[in-house]
Amino acid sequence: MDERVSEHAQLLVDWSARIEPGDDVVVSVAEDAHDLAEAVAETLGERGANPMFTYASDELTRAYLQAHDGEFEPDPDHELALYEAADVVLRLGGGRNTAAMADVPPDRKQAHSRARKGIREARMATDWVSTVHPTRSLAQQAGMAYEEYREFVYDAVLRDWEALAEEMQQLKEILDAGSEVTLRKERTDLTMSIEGRTAVNSCASVAYDSHNLPSGEVFTAPAATEGEVSFDVPMTINGKRLRDVHLTFEGGEVVDFSAGENEAELASILETDDGARRLGELGIGMNRGIDRYTDNILFDEKMGETVHLALGRAYDACLPEGESGNDSAVHVDLITGMDEDATLSVDGEVIQRDGRFRWEDGFDG
Amino acid sequence: MDERVSEHAQLLVDWSARIEPGDDVVVSVAEDAHDLAEAVAETLGERGANPMFTYASDELTRAYLQAHDGEFEPDPDHELALYEAADVVLRLGGGRNTAAMADVPPDRKQAHSRARKGIREARMATDWVSTVHPTRSLAQQAGMAYEEYREFVYDAVLRDWEALAEEMQQLKEILDAGSEVTLRKERTDLTMSIEGRTAVNSCASVAYDSHNLPSGEVFTAPAATEGEVSFDVPMTINGKRLRDVHLTFEGGEVVDFSAGENEAELASILETDDGARRLGELGIGMNRGIDRYTDNILFDEKMGETVHLALGRAYDACLPEGESGNDSAVHVDLITGMDEDATLSVDGEVIQRDGRFRWEDGFDG
């Protein structure tokens, strides 16, 4: 087996999930993620953990949802019991067709998802981590050859996470101490309050409240957004390609918007609920192992020298204890490159210029 | 998809497991059993049951066992909780290599199995059913082309089970009323007591205490075996091919034995414990959809016009309430053909002659 598959498994088990002897682990295996699952099984054997493997197949889910009448029983006992008793959940993504559920009616999917709220919460209460095994289907979605895509995934995953965590800690401390963030680039001059908010150093480990491998971003929950912003990275949302999105904010809310393609989809997102017109997340991508967009949010939003803003729901980890942030049924990330004629400032001091941080280039903020 | 895959799934869900709306179902999916799993997912959707899919891969189990130090924690909580809360367990066998675990030390496998006694008991307390999806690996083990093997499996599985259950009921009633069974053929003259024992009409449905699909046998728990018996169907036990086994019984115990190949393996089985030298099962194969041996006990022992005897453990279902039958760590089935110059008699009356039953040929017992 490719040595990188074993390294991936070891990073996942040790750095990301911090698995200890005796931990009860659910390993969710997507179609075609068998090789990574085998390496994870080996690593869990070495660590003396107790794995149980589930099969996560979009094709099976589609067959079930298509046949069902849509009246789903809430939180079936057996699955709830499994996650309530688990210490760790490792999700090994993959798949053989990213469009495998394309013909399932959206309301059927939503009803199924609503009926599984307790199961989802039980899973999120474990030390869960999501990762992906590079499959041909994901390579196709990225527009890449299979071998090329494998290189891409392992460049993103097999980082020196300890070193990146230290670097990201500097940005977290600046954001935690700051009150206001400003982004400036072409057709972009946006100011957000981050007063009283806590940034997450998302370095792909549950020890840092970070649940994705790869990760490599620092994110917080902004408020009181004012100004305009352009997103030059295309994104596929609900199967629709959004391109050249431009938003204008007043008093924290979107008051004007446009998109170069599928503007109606953007309108529909903004109309979901009140929270969908406000920002829930400001994230700063710092994983330079990710050097291109692959239309997969797990990778795209972590790309070095980018910033993403999410319309909708905020993460509790960024908010003072007991305070709830922006609430919404949606969380839609939009990404903008910061590598050319762009600055990110905190309280008037430039922290990042043209993609380089102050501590990298030693420029004077 | 091949229409037979859907028919298989429907038989499994409706006839075998008797699944009702709201049942919590664990579906264990072996490597390469994806297509059957998809058809089962569809059927469970139609019935309004709640499936959860687990991934049963010998390659993952091997990787885990090879890496583990062998000190297994008993019955991990999460897996135990899953099976304790489940109503039904459907095991979809398959696999990509029947020798996938060939290099795992036997004591490691046994230690792992011993540590999972509670999980096994919880699973056996559900309405469980085992079946197989025809894979290339199983075709290879059977010495058959893939398409040929698919024909074989669906001939065995897609029976008129209701009609077969009625036919088998006749034999069950004869055995339940009888005291003594005698088998006679070349180098075979064997008498067993079945006094007070209850035969199981194993027609592939939990409603009949039958947990295999395909099934098609009537079995009971014999005692006080006397005489000699020859087994002309070869069997692979613990990776060793046993051929032309001949056993001599006195006072219920094997007192002499021989085998045309791997006699040492037979000796080792007989030495396991006291119960290994006594019979735990007399089974009469009645599935005429199975017309050849494929070195897979799920099929071989159900073949029409054969009888199998198992050394070792008896099934509780055959014994009076509270009575325990022959106990042993092993249950090794050995098969003999009854289609030529052979009779099976109960209390001196011939019930089957040269493979044909009394009610088929109308001969006078």
Q: How confident is the model at residue A300 (pLDDT cuts 50, 70, 90)?
A: very high
Q: CB distance B52–A79 less than 8 Å? A: yes
Residue A284: both structure tokens together = 């700063």
Q: Give phi and psi for A42, each to the nearest 5.
A: -60, -45
Tokens 């998802």 — which residue? A113
Q: Where are the beta strands (DSSP E) in chain A?
A: 24-30, 50-56, 88-93, 129-132, 180-185, 188-193, 200-202, 217-220, 223-231, 235-237, 240-242, 245-250, 253-258, 279-285, 306-312, 331-337, 343-346, 349-353, 356-357
What's the gap in Å between the CA of A181 and the closest CA on chain B?
A: 45
Q: How confident is the model at residue A364 (pLDDT cuts 50, 70, 90)?
A: low
User: What is the tens place of the pLDDT at every residue in A58-74?
Assistant: 999 999 999 999 999 99
Identify any residues that bridge with A249 across adjacent strands, giving them in sequence order: A227, A254
Burial of B308 (0-12, 13-18, 19+ CB in 10 A): buried
Cβ-contact A157, A131 below 8 angstroms: yes
How much is the average pLDDT of A203-212? 95
Return the residue in A38, A55, A83, A109 with the most chain B beta carbons within 10 A, the one to mutate for interface testing.
A55
How much is the average pLDDT of A30-48? 98
For residue B234, which amino acid is it?
Answer: P
Q: CB distance B60–A53 less than 8 Å? A: yes
Return the residue in B40, B72, B82, B97 with the most chain A beta carbons within 10 A, the one to mutate for interface testing.
B82
The SS3 of residue A330 is: coil
Residue of A nearest to B72 (CA): A48
How much is the average pLDDT of B14-28? 98
Residue A71 with chain B: CB contacts under 8 Å: 48
Q: How confident is the model at residue A329 (pLDDT cuts 50, 70, 90)?
A: confident
Residue A365 has pLDDT above 60, yes or no: no
Taking Cα atoms as reference points, which of B216, B206, B214 lies closest to residue B18? B206
CA–CA distance, A213 with B364 (Å, rounded to integer): 75
Tokens 């809310």 — which residue? A253
What's the gap in Å between the CA of A30 and the closest CA on chain B?
A: 10
Q: What is the mean pLDDT of chain B?
A: 95
Residue of B nearest to A63 (CA): B42
For chain A, what is the largest distance between any 2 Cα atoms, rounded to a whole number of angstroms? 63
**pLDDT, position B286:** 97
User: What is the tens place of the pLDDT at every residue in B222-272?
Assistant: 999 999 999 999 988 888 899 999 999 999 999 999 999 999 999 999 999
Q: CB distance B78–A52 less than 8 Å? A: yes
For chain B, what is the largest distance between any 2 Cα atoms, rounded to a whole number of angstroms? 63
Q: How confident is the model at residue B364 (pLDDT cuts 50, 70, 90)?
A: low
CA–CA distance, A237 with B275 (Å, rounded to integer): 65
CA B68-B72-B73 angle, to 5 degrees, is 135
Residue of B nearest to A86 (CA): B78
CA–CA distance, B255 with A59 (Å, rounded to integer): 56
Residue of A nearest to B56 (CA): A53
Residue B294 has pLDDT above 80, yes or no: yes
Burial of B6 (0-12, 13-18, 19+ CB in 10 A): middle
Long-range own/partner contacts, residues A109-118 (CB < 8 A, 24 or more apart): A109/A65, A111/A70, A111/A71, A111/A72, A112/A65, A112/A68, A112/A72, A114/A72, A115/A72, A115/A73, A115/A74, A115/A75, A116/A72, A116/A74, A116/A75, A117/A74, A117/A75, A118/A74, A118/A75, A118/A80
Q: How confident is the model at residue B13 (pLDDT cuts 50, 70, 90)?
A: very high
Q: CB distance A41–B53 less than 8 Å? A: no
Taking Cα atoms as reference points, which of A192, A101, A156 lies closest to residue A300? A156
User: What is the tens place of the pLDDT at every residue in B45-92?
Assistant: 999 999 999 999 999 999 999 999 999 999 999 999 999 999 999 999
| CA dihedral (A355, A358, A359, A361) positive or negative | positive
Sequence-distant (≥ 6) Cβ neighbours of residue B143 within 8 angstroms:
B294, B295
CA–CA distance, B329 with B313 (Å, rounded to integer): 7
Residue of B nearest to A60 (CA): B38
N-to-C CA span, chain B:
48
User: What is the tens place of the pLDDT at every residue in A220-274?
Assistant: 999 999 999 999 999 888 888 999 999 999 999 999 999 999 999 999 999 999 9
CATH fold label, A3-157: Thermophilic metalloprotease-like (3.40.1830)
Residue of B nearest to A126 (CA): B78
Residue A34 with chain B: CB contacts under 8 Å: 31, 57, 59-60
Lowest mean pLDDT among A180-184, B177-181, B233-237: B233-237
Tokens 């005489």 — which residue? B227
What's the gap in Å between the CA of B52 and the closest CA on chain A?
A: 7
Q: Quote the percentage of chain A above a pLDDT of 70.
A: 99
**pLDDT, position B365:** 57
Residue A22 with chain B: CB contacts under 8 Å: 73
Identify any residues that bridge with B181 across adjacent strands, giving them in sequence order: B192, B346
Sequence-distant (≥ 6) Cβ neighbours of residue B290 within 8 angstroms:
B152, B155, B156, B214, B216, B299, B300, B302, B303, B304
Q: CB distance A52–B22 less than 8 Å? A: no
CA A209-A134-A219 angle, to 5 degrees, is 25
**pLDDT, position A256:** 98
Residue A111 has pLDDT above 70, yes or no: yes
Report the relative pairing of strands A88-93 and A129-132 from DSSP bridges. Answer: parallel
Residue A37 with chain B: CB contacts under 8 Å: 55, 57, 60
How many residue pairs bridge chain A and chain B with CB atoms within 8 Å of each other?
A: 148
Cβ-contact A111, A70 below 8 angstroms: yes
Q: How many other C-beta atoms can be found within 10 angstroms of the C-beta atom of residue B188?
A: 22
CA–CA distance, A308 with A301 (Å, rounded to integer): 6
- Where exactly are the structural domains of chain A? 3-157, 161-361
Residue A66 with chain B: CB contacts under 8 Å: 42, 45
| CA dihedral (B147, B152, B153, B157) positive or negative | positive
Radius of gyration of chain B (CA): 20
Return the residue in A53, A72, A78 with the most chain B beta carbons within 10 A, the one to mutate for interface testing.
A78
CA–CA distance, B184 with B341 (Å, rounded to integer): 8
CA–CA distance, A334 with A63 (Å, rounded to integer): 32
Q: CB distance B63–A39 less than 8 Å? A: yes
Q: What is the mean pLDDT of chain A?
A: 95
The SS3 of residue B120 is: helix
Residue B362: both structure tokens together = 């109308």
